[in-house]
Amino acid sequence: MAVTALLVDGLTVRFGSFRAIDALSLAIDYGEVRAVIGPNGAGKTTLLDVISGITRPKEGRVLFDGAFDLTQASDSAIARAGIRRKFQKPSVFEGLSVRQHIAIGADAGFRRALDAPALEDRVSEVLETVGLAGHATHLAGELSHGQKQWLEIGMVLASDPKVLMLDEPVAGLTDEETERTAQLVRRLNRPDRAIIVVEHDMDFVERIADRVTVLHEGRTLFEGPMDKVRADAGVIEVYLGR
Amino acid sequence: MMPLSKDRPFLALLLALVGVALAMGLLAGTPFALSRYLANAIGQLAAFAVLALALDLIWGYLGILSLGHGLFFAVGGYVMAMYLLKHSFVVTGTVPDFLQFMGWKDFPFYWAGFEFFPYALFVAVAVTGLIAGIFGYVSFRSRVGGVYFAIITQALVYVAMLLMFRNDTGFGGNNGMTGFAVLFGWPMGTSGMITALAIASLLVLAGVLVGCRLLVGSRFGALMLATRDDETRLRTLGYETLRLKLGVWCLSALIAMCAGMLYVPQVGIINPRVLSPELSLEIAVWVAIGGRGHLAGAVIGALLVNAVKFWLSFAAPDIWPFILSGLIVLVVLVFPNGLMDLATFKLVRPMGPRRAAAALEEGR
Amino acid sequence: MKLAPFVSILVGVLAGGLLLASPAGAQPLDRAALIARMCGEAAAMGEAGTALAALAASGEEAERAWAAPLPRAAIDRTLACDEAGAVLTEGGLDALTRAPRAAQGTPRTPLLSLKNRPVYELADAAFTLRMAPSVSQRAAALKILERRPALIPAGLLEGAAQAETDAGLKAQIENLAQSAALNAADPALRRAAIARLTENPNRRTLTQLTGLKSDAAYATDAAFRQAVESGIAKVERGIALGDALATLYNGLSFASILFMAAIGLAIIFGLMGVINLAQGELIMIGAYVTWLVQQGLRSLAPGLLDWYLVLAIPFAFLVTAAIGIALEASLLRHLYKRPLMSLLATWAVSLFLMNLVRVLFGTQNLQFETPFYVTGGVPVIGDFIFTWNRMFAIAFAVVTLALTWAVVRKTPLGLNIRAVTQNRDMAACIGIPTRRVDMMAFGLGSGLAGLAGLALSPIYSVNPQMGQNFIIDAFMVVVLGGVGTIAGTVVAALGIGQINVLIEPLWGAVAAKVIVLLMIIGFLQWRPEGLFAVKGRRK
Q: For chain C, what percentages of helix, strand and coil (3-state, to nearest 5) are there?
A: 75, 5, 25
**Is pLDDT of C18 > 70?**
no
Give the integer Cα–Cα distance in Å for A103 and A96: 11
Q: What is the pLDDT of residue C533?
A: 55
H or E element that contains A105: helix A98-106
B329 with C522: Cβ contact below 8 A: no
Instruction: Read off the pLDDT of each residue in A128-157 and give the average, rounded to a whole number.
Output: 86
Under an 8 A CB cutoff, do C352 and B321 touch? yes
Q: What is the DSSP string of B233-275?
A: HHHTTT--HHHHHHHHHHHHHHHHHHHHHHHHHHH-EE-GGGG
Do C537 and A49 count as a contact with CB atoms less than 8 A apart? yes
Q: Give yes or no for B142 touching A (CB within 8 A).
A: no
Q: How distant, in Å, are the alpha carbons of B94, C113, C285, C316 from that of C370? A: 52, 53, 19, 18
Please report, as a single letter, which amino acid is at residue B77: G
ipTM score of the complex? 0.87
pLDDT at residue C309 greater than cutoff 80: yes
Q: Average pLDDT, stretch A109-136?
A: 80
CB spacing of A96 vs B235 below 8 angstroms: no
CB contact under 8 A, B236 and A75: yes
Question: C485 to chain A, minimum CA–CA distance in Å?
Answer: 15
Is the Cβ–Cβ distance between C208 and C171 less than 8 Å? no
User: What count of other Cβ atoms lies within 10 Å of the Cβ of residue B249?
Assistant: 22
Percentage helix, strand, coil for chain A under 3-state DSSP, each rounded to 5 = 40, 25, 35
At B349 the pLDDT is 39
Query: Chains with 3 or more CB pairs closer than 8 angstroms to A?
Result: B, C
Asked if A142 is an interface residue toward chain B (Cβ–Cβ < 8 A), one would say yes
End-to-end Cα spacing for chain B: 22
> Looking at CA atoms only, how far is residue B170 from chain A in angstroms?
43
Q: Let me know how long chain C is.
A: 539
Q: Are C430 and C264 in contact (CB under 8 A)?
A: no
Which position has the higher pLDDT, C229 or B364?
A: C229
At C177, is the pLDDT very low, low, confident or very high (cuts 50, 70, 90)? confident
Q: Is C514 on the interface with B (CB under 8 A)?
A: yes
Are C459 and C393 within 8 A, CB to CB? yes
pLDDT-based confidence at residue C155 (cuts at 50, 70, 90): confident
Summarised one tens digit per residue, pLDDT across range B61-77 is 998 999 999 999 999 99
Quick check: B208 pLDDT over 90? yes
CB contact under 8 A, B281 and C521: no
Confidence bin at B351 (pLDDT 50/70/90): very low
C536 vs A contacts (CB less than 8 Å): 15
Which residues in chain C have their CB less than 8 angstroms from residue B135's CB?
521
Please state the rounded mean pLDDT for residues A116-135.
84
CA distance A150 to chain C (A): 20
Q: Which residues pair with A219 in a beta bridge?
A: A216
Question: Quick one: angle between helices C412-422 and C434-456, nearest 10?
Answer: 110
Helices (H), C164-221: 167-182, 187-198, 203-211, 216-220
Q: Widest CA span of chain B, in angstroms?
A: 67
| Interface mutation target, options C336, C496, C524, chain B, most CBs of B under 10 Å | C524
Q: What is residue C20's predicted lDDT score, i.e. its pLDDT?
A: 39
A98: pLDDT strictly greater than 60: yes
Contacts of B230 in chain A (CB under 8 A): 91-93
Domain ranges of chain B: 4-276
Q: Which residue has the higher pLDDT, C494 or C376?
A: C494
B272 against C271, higher pLDDT: B272
Instruction: Tell me if A93 and B238 make a contact (CB, 8 A cut-off).
Output: no
A218: three-class secondary structure by DSSP: coil
Q: Using an 8 Å Cβ cutoff, are C30 and C1 in contact?
A: yes
Torsion from C-alpha of B133, B135, B141, B147, nearest 10 degrees = -130
Of B75, B167, B156, B166, residue with least CA distance to B120: B75
| Percentage of chain C modeled with pLDDT above 70 | 91
- Mean predicted lDDT score pLDDT of chain C: 80
Give the burial class of C290: count Cβ atoms within 10 A of its Cβ; 0-12 exposed, 13-18 middle, 19 or more buried.
Answer: buried
For residue B302, count CB atoms less than 10 angstroms from its CB and return exposed for 0-12, middle for 13-18, buried for 19 or more.
buried
pLDDT at B344 over 70: no
Q: Looking at the domain assignment, is residue A66 inside a domain?
A: yes
Residues in C touching B138 (Cβ below 8 Å):
521-522, 524-525
- Phi and psi at C152, nearest 5°, equal -65, 125
Q: Per-residue pLDDT averaged across C25-51, rounded?
A: 77
Rounded to whole angstroms, how far apart are CA atoms B55 and B285?
10
Contact status, residue B205 vs residue A75, Cβ threshold 8 Å:
no
**pLDDT of C358 higher than 80:** yes
Yes or no, beta carbons of B321 and C273 under 8 Å apart: no
Give the Cα separation of C459 and C309 in Å (integer): 12
Q: Is C79 helix (H, G, I), strand (E, B) or coil?
A: strand
Please check whether residue B233 touches A, CB under 8 A: yes
Cα A185 versus chain centre, distance: 11
Mutation pick from C529, C538, C539 vs chain A, by most beta carbons of A within 10 Å, is C538
Inter-chain residue contact C537 with A16, CB threshold 8 Å: no
Please report, for residues A44, A144, B231, C256, the alpha-carbon distance to residue A167 in angstroms, rounded to integers and kept in the order given.
9, 18, 18, 48
Q: CA angle, C37 as apex, C44 and C57 as ends, to 5°?
A: 90
Does A49 reside within a domain? yes
Whole-angstrom Cα distance, residue C435 to residue C454?
29
Tens of pLDDT, residue by residue over A169-206, are 888 888 888 888 888 888 888 888 899 999 888 888 88
pLDDT band at C115 (very low <50, low <70, confident <90, very high): confident
Closest CA to C491 of C476, C480, C502: C480
- Interface-testing mutation among C265, C331, C340, C483, with chain B (most B C-beta atoms within 10 A): C340
Q: Which chain B positions have a beta carbon within 8 Å of C340's beta carbon? A: 59, 65, 146-147, 150, 361-363
C520 touches chain B (CB under 8 A): yes
Any domain includes A17: yes
Write the CB contacts of B201 (distance below 8 Å, at least 6 apart in sequence): B42, B43, B44, B46, B47, B50, B262, B266
Question: Which residues of chain A make contact with B217, given a CB cutoff of 8 A?
Answer: none
Q: What is the pLDDT of residue C477?
A: 87
Cα gap C180→C145, rounded to integer Å: 10
C24 vs B206 pLDDT, higher one: B206
Does B321 contact chain C (CB < 8 Å)?
yes
Q: Has residue A196 been placed in a domain?
A: yes
Report the chain B residue with the minimal C-alpha distance to residue C468: B277
Q: Minimal Cα–Cα distance from A49 to chain C, Å? A: 8
Has residue A50 been placed in a domain?
A: yes
Q: Which amino acid is at B176?
A: G
Candidates B219, B225, B238; nearest CB to A80: B238
Strand-strand pairing, C85-88 and C93-94: antiparallel
Q: Please report the pLDDT score of residue B362 as a whole number.
A: 36
How large is the average pLDDT for residues A76-87? 88
Confidence of residue B56 (pLDDT cuts 50, 70, 90): very high
Q: Say how many C-beta atoms besides its own lie within 10 A of residue B73's C-beta.
A: 35
> Any CB–CB contact under 8 A between C524 and chain B?
yes
Identify whether A36 is part of a domain. Answer: yes
Chain segment B299-312, per-residue pLDDT in tens: 999 999 999 888 88
B304 CB within 8 Å of a chain C CB: no
Residue-wise DSSP of C339-407: HHHHHHHHHHHHHHHHHHHHHHH-SSPPP----GGGS-EEEEETTEEEEHHHHHHHHHHHHHHHHHHHH
Looking at residue A83, the DSSP 8-state letter turns out to be E
Judge contact between A209 and A232, C-beta under 8 A.
Answer: no
Instruction: Say if residues A5 and A30 touch (Cβ distance below 8 Å).
Output: yes
Kindly list the residues from chain B whose CB atom is less than 8 angstroms away from the CB atom of residue C509. 162
Q: Compare all CA atoms of chain C with the CA of A45 and give the residue at the minimum distance.
A: C537
Residues of the domain holding A201: 4-92+163-240
pLDDT tens per residue across span B98-151? 777 777 777 888 888 888 899 999 999 999 999 999 999 988 888 877 888 888
A5/chain C closest Cα distance in angstroms: 25
Q: Give the residue from C334, C337, C286 showing the smallest Cα distance to C448.
A: C286
Tens digit of each residue's pLDDT (9 = 90 or more) over C42-66: 888 888 888 888 888 877 778 888 8
Cβ pair B228, B146 in contact under 8 A: no
Residue A126 inside a domain? The answer is no
User: What is the pLDDT averaged over residues A197-224?
Assistant: 86
In a domain, A151, yes or no: no
The alpha carbon of residue A85 is apart from the nearest alpha carbon of chain B, in Å, by 7
Domain boundaries, chain C: 4-185, 254-467
A54 and chain B in contact, CB less than 8 A? yes
Residue among C534, C535, C538 minimizing CB distance to A54: C538
Nearest by CB: C510 against B141, B166, B321: B166
What is the total count of domains within chain A? Answer: 1
How far apart are the C-alpha atoms of A215 and A212, rounded to whole Å?
Answer: 10
* Alpha carbons C23 and C51: distance in angstroms, whole number: 9
- Tell me if chain C has a CB within 8 Å of the CB of B101: no
- The subunits that touch chain B, with at least 3 C-beta pairs less than 8 Å apart, are A, C
